[in-house]
Amino acid sequence: MISQLGYIGISASDLGRWEQFGADILGAQLSGKGADGSLYFRMDEYHHRIVVHPGAEDDISYAGWMVATLQALCEVRERLVADGVAVRQATPEEIERRKVIDMISFDDPNGLRCEVFYGLRVSADRPFHSPRGIAGFTAGELGMGHIVLFARDLDRTLDFYSRLLGFRVSDYIDFEMARTPVRMAFLHTNPRHHSAAFVQVDRPKKLAHFMLELTSLDDVCRTMYLCQEKGVPITSTLGRHSNDQVVSFYMQSPAGFEIEYGHGGRLVDDADWVVQYHQTPSMWGHKRQAH
Ligand SMILES: [Fe+2]
């Protein structure tokens, strides 16, 4: 049903810093601004993948899940309604702001606004061009990357995303976060190992981090040194994850949440994938840094 993570929306208190950060650190391309100053960043052929809105939350404000067709959108809507979820039809203004053909929205069990849409605008006349010359993002049909969200009730959250939206569990990791044992579950919706992951902890914020995948390992390492030069806090050192095998580091965004910047994620084939159970998030590295 859901084909990919199409875009995310962020509510940010310092748009000026985000405009610089998105281009000069992340290497994303500003493709336009909304009437309220919202920043639309692109990473591939699509008009936008990250939208930063003025707001006080400094957190994710919505996740945009793409479906392929109108029929798929109707199917998702029917499943949600049959389960008693309050589904809202997007207004013409919302559709215009998101640059899609049609869209519905609803809240997930943790209160995150989810949008399901089809027909995200493609900027075919302007090929993606990174303002700082990175080789490119691994996005396209795999989606913009992944989001990791806090979940109060992991089982209920997994049931919602699996049964109603068609996500499949890739694996679980049990580990210690700040000396507390936590469980994480990773879900895929296309060959990308996970488009969403959930950590069972109760936090006031919704987003732990979002991840961008680079086509070049050199760009990941170069960006890590660029963060050091520019004073962007590195929250976790370079390492390789045990489950998706991504080599990455984590930086702190201007909104406070983290951004994982990585390369080399393994792909999942539903025909032969077996759910795995890990006891450590990393094969090596990813040492937490205090700031
Ligand atoms: Fe991640």
Measure the CA dihedral 151/42/222/232, to 10°. Answer: -60
**Cα of 36 from ligand 1 centre, angstroms:** 30
Q: Which residue has the tokens 């580990």?
A: 175
Fold for the domain defined by 140-285: 2,3-Dihydroxybiphenyl 1,2-Dioxygenase; domain 1 (3.10.180)
Cβ-proximal residues to 164 (8 Å cutoff; 6+ apart), any chain: 76, 79, 80, 83, 85
Q: What is the structure's pLDDT at 88?
A: 98
Domain 2-118 matches domain 140-285 at the CATH topology level: yes
**Cα of 146 from ligand 1 centre, angstroms:** 7
Q: What is the structure's pLDDT at 147?
A: 98
Cβ-proximal residues to 233 (8 Å cutoff; 6+ apart), any chain: 227, 251, 252, 289, 291
Query: Against a cut of 0.95, is the pTM above it?
Result: yes
> What is the amino acid identity at position 50?
I
DSSP character string of 101-133: SEEEEEE-TTS-EEEEEE---B-TTS----TT-
pLDDT band at 290 (very low <50, low <70, confident <90, very high): confident
**Cα of 273 from ligand 1 centre, angstroms:** 20
**Cα of 199 from ligand 1 centre, angstroms:** 11
Which CATH code is given to the segment(s) 2-118?
3.10.180.10
d(CA 47, CA 32): 9
Mean pLDDT of 189-211: 97
**Cα of 61 from ligand 1 centre, angstroms:** 18
Residue pair 33/135 in contact (Cβ under 8 Å)? The answer is no
**Cα of 209 from ligand 1 centre, angstroms:** 7
**Cα of 34 from ligand 1 centre, angstroms:** 29
| pLDDT tens-digit readout, 30-80 | 999 999 999 999 999 999 999 999 999 999 999 999 999 999 999 999 999
**Cα of 74 from ligand 1 centre, angstroms:** 31
d(CA 199, CA 186): 9
**Cα of 8 from ligand 1 centre, angstroms:** 15
**Cα of 195 from ligand 1 centre, angstroms:** 9
pLDDT band at 265 (very low <50, low <70, confident <90, very high): very high
**Cα of 142 from ligand 1 centre, angstroms:** 15
**Cα of 246 from ligand 1 centre, angstroms:** 9
Domain ranges of the chain: 2-118, 140-285
**Cα of 126 from ligand 1 centre, angstroms:** 30
**Cα of 282 from ligand 1 centre, angstroms:** 11
Mean pLDDT of 198-216: 97
What is the phi/psi pair of residue 256, to 5°? 100, -35
pLDDT greater than 90 at residue 177:
no
d(CA 229, CA 223): 10
**Cα of 235 from ligand 1 centre, angstroms:** 13
d(CA 175, CA 277): 11
Query: For residue 37, what are its two tokens?
Result: 């100053």
**Cα of 290 from ligand 1 centre, angstroms:** 19
pLDDT greater than 90 at residue 178:
no
CA 274 from chain center: how many Å? 24
Q: Which of 239, 137, 243 is nearest to 186 (CA)?
A: 243
Q: Which of 153, 152, 83, 76 is nearest to 118 (CA)?
A: 76
